[in-house]
Amino acid sequence: MKNFDKDCLIVDLDNTITIHDIDNDYSQMLCNSDIKKSLDNAKKQGYVIDIFSSRNMRTYKGDEVKINKYTRPVAEKWLKKNNIVFDNLILGKPWCGPDGWYIDDKNLSIEEFLIKFNGLYSKLKFSVVIPFFNEESNCIKVYEETKKIERILNIDEYIFVNNGSTDNSLMELTNISKLDKKVKILNIEINIGYGNGMKRGIEFAKNDSIITNHADLQFNPYSFFLSHSELLMDANSTPKNIFPVRKNRSFINIFYTYILRKVLAIVLFKKINEFNGQPKVLLNKRDYDFDNFSDNFSFDLNLWLETDKNMILDLPILERDRFSGESSWNNTLLNKLKVFFGYIKFAFLYRGKR
């Protein structure tokens, strides 16, 4: 009897586990070794693996008696010969036709499956940390976009930090947490800075591997990871921290960042690369002493300075306009100057400690 309390992978057989070859019959099909490794890893993680196939549904016009008599023995023999781990072989899946599609909200593409179960970061379990400050209009959309990362990476929990919001952000986040047990709310009553919210969320997370993002919806995490799928599928490379490089920015913002990084380079006596892009991937939060990190917008610079540069991947990401609301610092020249000189002040203090 099937255990309905266990997570299950329902996997296609032909052109997924097998490699398509019109010159061979089913018994002679080659095995997709990457899919096989991914199934092995999924089984080790505790997934039930059910193979659900439409093989010969067209040939026998949906006659499941004939399919079980003639198709099942060939399929079972091939699976055994190729040492494919599985719990059940289910035949009789409807055939969608040569140009049809299967549509399902729980569907993983083959590419997503390979990244998630046999990719560069497949052995890690992540906590996602996002601070919210007066982002009530963004909360649900942030959750929906962020939840999609589970299609690519192993996400154990989402730490949504209500960073001293004075609007209805806390209520919106609390409602989301009631619908998804992975969502945990950390409420900070008084906002003392973006950095404080981020580091408190990271410290609260149960996993050492962390993904961070902003709540303004300027960076789509799922699209970002999927756009680098070729890199993420390479299980033989060494996992590194990811600091995204922002693209598609206005000339004014590019110029502002250029000047800021040049001044910081002079103060800190080193070249300063992109440090404000999101979503970031941190392999091990224990590498950082967050108690001594900046509480304000300098947090991301602080994080970049404390990360081994040989262990950073600089990957491009497209920056979008805010979905709603208004930036607390990028809305007036005066506020931009305050943040600019805040970075410079931090740089002098940081240099003084070294």
Please list the rounded mean pLDDT of every run of 10 residues in the chain (354 residues). 80 95 86 97 96 96 95 97 97 94 93 97 97 96 97 97 97 97 97 97 98 96 96 94 96 94 96 96 97 96 97 96 63 80 95 83
Q: CATH fold of 8-107, please?
A: Rossmann fold (3.40.50)
DSSP lists the bridge partners of residue 127 as: 157, 210
Cβ atoms within 10 Å of 353's Cβ, excluding its own: 6
Domain boundaries, the chain: 8-107, 123-353
The residue whose two tokens read 């491009």 is 316
pLDDT for residue 326 = 55
Do 236 and 336 meet the contact criterion of CB atoms below 8 Å apart? no
**DSSP letter string over 264-295?**
HHHHHTS-----S-SSEEES-GGGS-GGGS-S
SS3 210: strand
pLDDT for residue 22 = 78
Q: CATH fold of 123-353, please?
A: Spore Coat Polysaccharide Biosynthesis Protein SpsA; Chain A (3.90.550)
Claim: this prediction has a pTM higher than 0.85: yes
**Amino acid (one-letter) located at 34:** D
